[in-house]
Amino acid sequence: MNNKLNPAGILYNLFPQVRAELLRILFRGGRRRERYVRQLARESDLALRTVQKELARLNGIGLILTRTDGLHRYYCANVYHPLYRALHEVAMKGTTTHSFVSIRKRPRASRKLRPRRRDPLAPRFQITLGGQRM
């Protein structure tokens, strides 16, 4: 029998990795700390679609609440759910602050940080005559 526990905490031993990561973020964030999907994806280093699917599952069983302002859909822990107190205690005691994603897997570069493609028809240098650009 394998008695090794996940070093990230008990939450990761009880739930699948993706669910444990989202529960860690949502239940450690305070009573009414709301986050939208891209924030959760950024904090967890998970793909956006993976986060969306798992949030739909958690919302379906009532562990999290959603609110929309027309532009973003915000998610937070449901403090009135019967399992809230137990999950909150597990999230506070049993986890570290780092995400479970392997060190070997690097998150995708932000679109803002990616180098822009050059226009192939744009000149590669500027011609100047007597200090004036042509």
Domain range enclosing 69: 10-98
70 found inside a domain: yes
121 found inside a domain: no
23 found inside a domain: yes
CATH code: domain of residue 85: 1.10.10.10
Q: Mind listing the pLDDT tens digit of every residue in the chain (134 residues)?
A: 455 655 556 777 788 888 888 888 888 866 568 899 999 999 888 999 999 999 999 999 999 999 999 888 999 999 899 988 888 888 877 555 554 444 455 555 555 666 666 666 766 666 667 666 65
**What is the pLDDT at residue 66?**
93
4 found inside a domain: no
117 found inside a domain: no
113 found inside a domain: no
**What is the pLDDT at residue 110?**
59
68 found inside a domain: yes
- The count of other CB atoms within 10 Å of the CB of residue 12 is 21
The count of structural domains within the chain is 1
**What is the pLDDT at residue 1?**
44
